[in-house]
Every structure is written in C-alpha cells, then in structure tokens.
Amino acid sequence: MDEQGRVHERIDRALPPVGSPLADLPAPRQFRAAAARAASPAARARLARSSSPRARRAAARTVRGELKKLERGGEITAAQQTEYRAIYDDALRFRSRLTGSRGDALQGVLNNTNFMAGRGDLTASRLPAIFTTLRRNRDWWATGRLLSYGERVEFNDSELVWQYYPGEGIQLQVLGTFGKGNGLWMAKDDRRLANLLDEMTELASTRGGALAWEYYFYFGGGRPPWASAMAQATGVQVFARASQLLKKPAYLKTAEKGIKLFGVDATTGVSTKTSAGRRFLLYSFSPSQQVLNGFVQTLVGLNDYWEISGDARARKLFQAGERQARLDLAATDTGAWSLYQVGGSEADLNYQTLVTDFIHNLCDRAEIAFWCRADARFRGYLKEAPELELLTERVRGGSTSLVRFEVSKMSKVGLTITRSGSTSLSTSVTVSRGPHGYAWKVPNSPGTYQLVLSGTDLAGNVGRTTATITVTGKARV
C-alpha cells in the first residue's frame, strides 16, 4: 500500500516465497480446534462477562486507563499517551463505519488490544508494536482490498511484513520479517536492511527481562502476547550478521539483549529445562509441542550469533540445546523420513525438506559429526523409494478379506491383484508409514494370484514389489 492508500501487487524478492515455512509459523496441529474456539467472539465475550474476582479486576482495566497509568508512573510521556490514545480512538470511530469482513478484521485487532489491557499486558515496551498494528489495520481496511488467509502485506514507507489472519486482521509476521532481513543481508541491500532492523528495534518489547519480538494475536491455542524461539533466533542471527555487513555494533548489542530469552522457561520464555539440557520451543505457550525443524533452526541462529559475537552465554545455550536436540532427532527419525514433532505424524514434503536444510546448515556451521551424519541420512530420505512388504500370504475364496501390507514412509500405495491377465482388484490411497490393508472381495476360484504393490512417496520416489497370494478353497456358509 502506498502513501495514498492505493494497493499494488508485487513480489518482494527478499521475502521467502508464499508457503515457505521460513515465512510463517504453522499453527500447532492439535490446537487448531481449540484456537478457533478461543479466538471466537463468543468465547471472548464469555471471558469479559466472567464474575471471578480476577476477571472483574481485569475488566476494570481499559486501554485508556492503562495508558494514563503508564503516564502517571513515568513510563511514557504525556505526548506518547496522547498519540496512542488518538490511534485507539480513531480506530474505534472508523470501526463503526465498517461492515462485513473489514469490520471483523479491525474489531479483532481492537479486541486483542482490549484483552491485553484487561490482563495488564499493555506494558510500555509493547505499546509501539501494539499501536503500530492498530494503525496499520486502520490504514489497510480503509482502502485496501479484502485478503485471503496468509496473504502478506507491506507498506511503501516500511520494510515490515504483515500477514492476514481471519478475525485477527493483519498482524506483524516476526519470522517473515526477519526472513526478509536475511534475504536483504544476502543481497547486500544495505539501506533496506538497516531500515528493517531499525524498525524491528523500535518494535521489540521486554519479556522475562529479555528483549523480545512478540506476536500480538490469538494463534493455535495461544493468546497474545507470545513468542517463538525460531523467530527470536532468526532475529538475533540477522542482527548479528548486519552488525558485520553494515559495521554497526549497536545491532550486535540488540542481538545480545535478545539472547537472554532462550534461557527463560516457558511460558514466559521460549525453552524448557530437560535432563539433557534445554529444548527450544516453536511456541512459548505450548511446551508440549516439540517441533524438530524449529528446534534445529534455533540452534543454527544461536550458533551464527555466537560465532560473530563470541558471547559465552549464547554458546552455553547452544550446547544445552544441542544435547537435547540429538534426543529429539532420534525420537523423530523413522529411518525413512521424519516426524514433524516428537510423538506426532510424519512431516509433509515442505517440512521434510526444511528440516533437512536446517540439519545441513547445522552440520555446515557447527561441524559436529552427529549432525553431519544426520544430514547425509536425511538427504537420502528425499531420494530413496519407499519400501513395501506384503503381509498377507493366503486368503479364503469367496470371502471379503483384508490384504495387509507395510510401507516404510507416507506414500500413495497402489495394489493390483491379477490372475491369468484378469484384474481382480486395483486400488490406491495415500497412507502413513506402517501396516495397512485393502479389502478384497476374493474370487471363488482357488489358486495363486499375482500381486503388485507400488508406492510413491511425497518426494515422488517410486517403490515397487511383486508377490503372490494364495486363495484357498471357498469359504463355508
């Protein structure tokens, strides 16, 4: 969007492409239904009407009241209080003129602001990001077009990346913005890189005594404000890189202030202590979500920062995380593919490719033999055909039987059974790794039937095996 409110569609070459896991954080899978419920207007209205003493105290807190309190306490100036209140009041007035999806989007941002005020989370350090979000939403929904889920928005006078979430308006996409920063660093676009980092410096908050880049909307069962180790690590990585490229030591100091968050326990911080060391979390609000790709990328970011800064604290955090990451990798490596998270389902192709790239980067940076072996193994998974094995050897004629087989990784598995050139069964479906079966209405004629199992994995590798299955005498009635 330009300064006149006109929208132009273009590709920002520095930004990871649409659909890239480096541009957006995925919603925790097991929390998607809970997220929809928690973010619904009805759920928020119930919370506001709650009669508990804590809820009554929270309801007494308002955006205007919290701003006045911060001014009285000397945490913001009178001019800042006036500016923030003007942004809020303008958004309220403009909301009354909007209908449909535009009104819902702006109302969602107002709701988030109100709820953070009600919980006492409207701290002085968060005000720049929260009210920038409110102002940008007021600007966009005034003249910008309607958006679909995940569409990204930028403004001509800024390098920040915004992303649309239905019911939440456009929100600052921290990971996407820092991903763009890395793109600008690789392109050696000094001016735009400096502008991006200066903006992100202004929008950083204080969380658990550390400098943090937070998310300010409901997402995946988490309520605002929340943080991500992967986004935070990508931030300290690009700040450290820029300090060298642009010869600005202040950027390294900013990164140093962000390192502390990795040692703060969730849900305030972005890690949990383990018997082996520390596990870094994709979402501060979900310690049980143990996502391998986010963990490994966090280690890459910490390692890059440490190599530039020599910060001993960062090195200790990296070592503690690396010890636990070995265990998480072992728990998610199936021998043919990987699980998206510990105890979860298999990764899709995007995330399998992503975690393979991250493991390669960690091997390349840290030169740790464990990760270099994992790198070779995971790159092999993307090229190796699925292995298939027939588990059923005989069935009774005239019955409906399950022809069981096993596949080594998620694949579209086809099964064909023929005899004397005549096809008795031909079917296919995408299945996860492990044992499965297809129902076969077995012919009455006993004898040997030829069977072909073929499997195509998510990367397009094709495996095939042939076998025979014996049909015995007709089933008794």
Q: Assess contact for 355 and 296: CB atoms under 8 A.
A: yes
| Apex 115 CA angle, 29 and 31, nearest 5 | 10
- Which residues are registered as beta bridge partners of 211? 206
Under a CB-based contact definition with an 8 Å cutoff, are residues 85 and 67 in contact? yes
Contacting residues for 270 by C-beta, under 8 A, at least 6 apart = 227, 228, 229, 232, 261, 262, 264, 280, 281, 284
Integer Cα distance of 173 and 179 in angstroms: 10
- What gap in Å lies between CA 173 and CA 159, rounded to an integer? 12
Q: Which residue has the tokens 């059974």?
A: 417
What end-to-end distance do the CA atoms of the chain give, in Å? 74
The answer, as to whether pTM is greater than 0.75, is yes
What is the C-alpha to C-alpha distance for residues 231 and 30, in angstroms, rounded to an integer?
Answer: 21
- Provide the residue-wise pLDDT of the chain in tens; the chain has 477 residues: 999 999 999 999 999 876 666 667 776 654 444 444 444 545 444 433 333 444 444 445 899 999 999 999 999 999 999 999 999 999 999 999 999 999 999 999 999 999 999 999 999 999 999 999 999 999 999 999 999 998 999 999 999 999 999 999 999 999 999 999 999 999 999 999 999 999 999 999 999 999 999 999 999 889 999 999 999 999 999 999 999 999 999 999 999 999 999 999 999 999 999 999 999 999 999 999 999 999 999 999 999 999 999 999 999 999 999 999 999 999 999 999 999 999 999 999 999 999 999 999 999 999 999 999 999 999 999 999 999 999 999 999 999 999 999 999 999 999 999 999 999 999 999 999 999 999 999 999 999 999 999 999 999 999 999 999 999 987 555
- Assign residue 119 a region: left if phi > 0, alpha if psi is -120 to 50, beta otherwise? alpha
Domains and CATH numbers, the chain: 29-380 (1.50.10), 388-474 (2.60.40.2550)
Cα dihedral 69, 74, 75, 81 sign = positive
SS3 labels along 113-161: HHHHHHCCCCCHHHHHHHHHHHHHHHHHHHHCCCCCCCCEECCCCCCCC
CA separation for the pair 258, 212 (Å, rounded): 6
DSSP H helices in 203-248: 229-245
